[in-house]
A = this chain, B = another copy of it.
Amino acid sequence: MWDATERVQMGQPTPELFVDTVFAYQKTAAIKAAIGVRLFTAIGTDAKTIEAIAKETGASPKGIRVLCDYLTVQGFLKKLGDCYEATAETQMFLDAKSPAYMGGVVDFMASPEMMRSFLEDPTSYVRNGGAIGSSTLDPNDPTWVTFARAMVPFMAPLAQSVAEQVASWSPPPRKVLDIAAGHGMFGIAIGKLIPQAEIVAVDWEPVLAVAKENAKKAGIDNRYQTIAGSAFEVNFGSDYDLVLLPNFLHHFDEETCVKLLKKVKQSLSGTGKVLAVEFVPNEDRISPYMPACFALVMLAHTPSGDAYTAAELHAMAVAAGFKGATTMPLANSPESLVSFELNE
């Protein structure tokens, strides 16, 4: 029965993966600490000693030594004698002086609320098949304001890439609806590239305040309208050339997605298109890494959300009266662009 017993006696199976996984929360703590003390900004692009980093961050030399060693083991730093140097990725994404800095995403992705809903009672959402009493779909859940503020650096390159595709259409869309706009980056990037485009953003009122700020910063606020409320309840208006659904469908079950897609379809112009941005796992649901892992995020945080495969998204599209849905990976991103096409 226990054929593994012999192997462990030969020194083969080890509990290392298990122990590393049980202790994984410590990795989150370490990266939060590093962002919190601006460790990678202090290290910058040179090799630095513990003393230099401690002085720059105002943290204790011992704390810096332990944290830097840990982050070296985890692959964020390289240790050269007594000095630590940032990897190219770390310099790129985690030094606040870098234009691609995204350290602030920890405020959303590892917020106390997100971690609590994951860690407080992990068996409950597995037993139940979804979060019980999750508030993340409530109008005033502050989660989405945090999301809108924290996720801009993560979403901006993605939004830019989507906007470039959209701007190449002939003719480019003139009237764009951005559903669950959040930070607003997807609609705003399109507004910046297409000077004639009018953008209409839908989200909860407190979240729209962030989108409006971002639209103003982007200089498109004169072409930026908002509709406050639930995407399932508000009147979208009509004749949209493009409807955006960025990171929205995964929060709901298939039936609810189909209901929303039907409503979206009615708001389109005759040649209108619908683009969703989604984490789309392969049919095996165990690859690619991040989309495959994303289903657990939805299990822990939503009553019935999921990471849908391309086939499931296509089936939803058909059920909602579209010709179908085509899924294409987005370059330099774990997410995919899903295009819902009309019959015409």
Contact residues of A with B, CB < 8 Å?
Answer: 1-5, 7-8, 11-33, 36-37, 45, 58-67, 69-70, 72-76, 79, 88-94, 98-100, 102, 105-106, 109-110, 112, 115, 118-120, 122-123, 125-130, 154, 281, 284-287, 289-290, 292-293, 295-300, 306, 331-332, 334
Contacts and interface: CB of A to CB of B under 8 A. Distances in A.
B28 A332 contact: no
A61 to B, nearest CB: 7
Contacts of A306: 62, 66
A70 B8 CA distance: 25
A88 B22 contact: no
Contacts of A31: 18, 21-22, 24
10 contacts: A11-B331, A13-B93, A16-B334, A21-B28, A22-B32, A23-B110, A29-B118, A32-B123, A67-B296, A79-B286
B28 A119 contact: yes
B24 A27 contact: yes
Contacts of A61: 129
Q: Which of A5, A70, A287 has the most CB of B within 10 A?
A: A70
Given A67-B126, A118-B26, A15 B109 contact: no
Given A22-B106, A28-B25, A289-B73, A299 B126 contact: no
A286 B4 contact: no
Contacts of A293: 23, 26, 70, 73
Q: Assembly of this chain: how many copies?
A: 2
A198 to B, nearest CB: 31
Please list the 10 inter-chain residue pairs (A to B) with the smallest Cβ-Cβ separation, ordered nearest first: A60-B129, A36-B123, A33-B122, A24-B27, A63-B126, A62-B129, A4-B92, A24-B24, A13-B89, A29-B122
Contact of A128 (B20, B28, B63, B129): B63
B127 A119 contact: no
Contacts of A75: 17
A242 to B, nearest CB: 27
Nearest to A81: B284
Contacts of A297: 23, 26
Contacts of A102: 15, 18
